Structure 1
Amino acid sequence: MGKKQDITIATPEYRKFIEDLKARVISARISAARAVNHDLIRLYWDIGRGIVEKQQVLGWGESVVDRVSGDLQEAFPAAAGFSPRNLRDMKRFYLAYADEAIWRQAVAKWPSDWRTADHSIWPQLVAKLEESEFAQILPQLVAEIPWGHHRFILDKVSDPAVRIYYIHATARFGWSRNVLLNQIKANAYERAVTEKKTHNFPLALPEYLAEQADEMLKSSYNLEFLGIRREVKERELEDRLIERLRDFILELGYGFCFVGRQHRLTLGQKEYFIDLLFYHRFLKALVAFELKVGPFEPEYAGKMDFYLNLLNDKERGAGDRPSLGVILCAEKDDVEVEYALRTKKNPIGVAVYQLQSKLPGEMKGKLPTAKQLSDVVKAALPGKAESK
């Protein structure tokens, strides 16, 4: 056999080979992201439709949303996507697009080139507007873009025809959420209808679609839907540690009352979740616990500070003391414990919290010590629990 030639990256053949492989990777990522997103949006559509139909047929009140949320979160405890707010958005999502008349009116206003554009399944919509199949194609149409884009459009745009335009444009041109925001601010719909053309938008190049696909793949809703919001082993470990910690604190008998796991906080349009929240009867204060798998990071302090101020502003009862926080970071066989205690208020009246690695003297006998917390978490770490 002849001697094999060394491959050099300078050859045109090799460069083309790599470019072809990169294109194939991008294409596969886009397809995978769209497939996951499609199923998630169809699920959210079905949940929204189910709630609406049951309310109409059985006369269920609005409180059923909270009940459904609670039952789903009990079945899927790590799933923040089933929060009451997100379920109400699913209901709003379904109601916004379920009426076929809305779609007919919207499409009638589109520029003519949009009715014949060869993109996805949208041309089929125009052909099926008068057919019974239209109800079946609706969920497919709205599944073309990520859930975060949908919530953004529902929040920023009120006209149904304009909403549908931006759904179509986002799918057709591969807009990221930031691009979508800028197009809405620039009145893209009004310009397109006035000018009767859409050639001022670039077609969706692979890099634009890849950026949108990346958003889909990183979406907490999609990752959670797949059960891989974090690495599976890490997520399972964290869940086990949180459960062990909750049980230990309740067994202490220090006056802790369990409020909730993944306790939901809201600020504006955003949601946040605290790993464990208790109310301490003797301290008369809310106590938040955050558990992280891995070494302590500086941003954990800022996040806990933010959570505690939200608790103080929104959930602290009359006569209650300022909320307290505890951060536990478990790495291998080591556990770092930090207490977040309020020290003062800054000039604009926001509480300032300072981390302390030791339990202050006045808190002893009321809060578990760092050693107690460290021991219970260590006992649940891999290699420890199994060896007992």
Structure 2
Amino acid sequence: MAEIIPNEDKEYSVLLDKIGQRIDQGKQEVARALIKSMLGTYWDMGQYIVEYEQDGKPHAIYGQQLFKRLSKDLTLRYGKGYSVPNLYNMRQFYQVYKDGYEELLSLTWSHVCILMRIENPVEREFYQRQCIDEKWDVTSLNRQKKSALFLRLADNKDKNEIIKLAREGIVIEKPEDVVKDVYTLDFMNLPSNIVIDETELEGRLMKQLGFFFLELGKGFTFVGEQYPMRINNKTFKCDLVFYHRILKCFFLVDLKIDEVEHKDIGQMNMYMGYFAEEVNEPDDKPPVGLILAREKDELMVKYATYGMDTNLFVSKYELYLPDENELRKLVEKALNDDTEIEN
């Protein structure tokens, strides 16, 4: 009978881990090779179809009839995967990425099918860059595209800023790069006639924390909810506390179901002071405070934050998707500006 090596044996554990890591690495290599082969095959097939259609010679079959016949014959010869819609996808893949698809090799065919349907090339480049850099899965890509993330970020930017956003994605160097003017919380699926308080709003966000992370952006780690702070025998609680790995600072969030008031701003400033003095480690950067309110009086906020920490922000949230058509008009107007693009 073969000798059984006990699990407690440290050398055996190291061996087991090393073999396991190599197996995982091998699976990833196979998956990448498969995706590369699949994308290359689909791109070539799309090219062959386009060249056949543009040949200029009279063909017996045109348009949809061509795809129906191809689908039938390819399915009989090679099995599943060659439906009429997928053949149309292959043609569109070649047409959209005619100059090459090498940057897409870390993505799946499902990613590609979503990206190539984005008509605006600048917008498409943004989502493509985010998928690659942030390793968005298909669900995340659909969610961010549906919430018009690019259009919301590009709003109020000039042409060069929009082009930079598309080419580089979201670059985080300071708190202003993280905080949005408006946060879209449509993922909570609240009926339009429902009235909720701050506790329920917080609870619903916690149940959908994954989607809230997507809306916040990259770099966030959840620390806790109703974070207690004891000051002069009084306990204060911050609704949500995160830590931002890139900025290396705590990120404090307070939720308001109505319009933000000046006392809310003073309270958040106190929270930030507490974290800076009592919670921060020596290598932590100053905390960031964000008040999320349904309504925001810009002038009151300007006066209430006068002379305060520049890391204190007041943003609005909306429970429903923004008007994508209006945002798109504003962004396309900026892109159509005659300003020369900076390299």
Q: Normalising to structure 2: TM-score of the pair? A: 0.40
* Structure with the larger RCO, 1 or 2 (CA within 8 Å, 6+ apart): 2
